Amino acid sequence: MRFLLTILCFVGPLLALPVRSESTSSITRDTVILPPGEGRVLVTSQCGYCHSLALVTQNRADREGWRSLIRWMQEKHGLWELGTLETPILDYLEKHYSPKESGRRPPIAGHLLPKLDIP
Ligand code: HEC
């Protein structure tokens, strides 16, 4: 009897611990948030369906490039016909994910740099 009581003292409190729910921890959420603008909802819903939106945001292409990427996914990967949604989707992709020149500022001209007397 004493033995049983001792066991209960240790095990009892454990039973009161909340059961950890696995369902919330196993869901992987897409943390990519597209910049606001017309077409964002369309791109989020249509282009985030099969893969992360990171695939979209990591890429840059002009309008034709995005169009041919869409065709490629339609031919090879089961992307559905976008119909009237295609134009606003292309507008958004072209506006936000066109090729960029360079994110860096141009180098400072030599005559503007301080003169350093380094032997
Ligand atoms: C029906 C599923 C599906 C939908 C919806 C979808 N894609 Fe894809 N997409 C794919 C698959 C499959 C790949 C290839 C993934 C890989 O290579 O791992 C892919 C790859 C890509 C890539 C990477 C291409 C590369 O060169 O690696 C980009 C960019 C992309 N998709 C953009 C989009 C855009 C924009 C949309 C919305 C118009 C979209 N996807 C909707 C299935 C889809």
Sequence spans of domains, the chain: 41-99
Radius of gyration of the chain (CA): 28
Alpha carbon distance 114, 79 (integer Å):
57
pLDDT average, residue stretch 81-98: 97
Inter-helix orientation angle 63-76/86-96, to 10°? 130
Distance (Å) from CA 55 to ligand 1 centroid: 7
Name the residue type at position 12: G
Give the closest residue (by CA) to ligand 1 atom 19: 73
Ligand 1: which of 49, 79, 81, 84 to mutate, most ligand atoms within 8 Å of CB? 79
Q: Is 83 a pocket residue for ligand 1 (Cβ < 6 Å)? A: no
Alpha carbon distance 22, 37 (integer Å):
36
pLDDT at position 22 is 44
Integer angstrom CA distances of residue 65 from 7, 81, 117: 69, 17, 51
Give the CATH class of 41-99: mainly alpha
Distance (Å) from CA 114 to ligand 1 centroid: 49
pLDDT at position 23 is 44
CB atoms within 10 A of CB 6: 10
pLDDT average, residue stretch 33-50: 94
Residue 63 has pLDDT above 70, yes or no: yes
Residue 10 has pLDDT above 70, yes or no: no
Q: Which two tokens stand for residue 82?
A: 């976008």
Question: What predicted TM-score, i.e. pTM, was given to this entire model?
Answer: 0.72
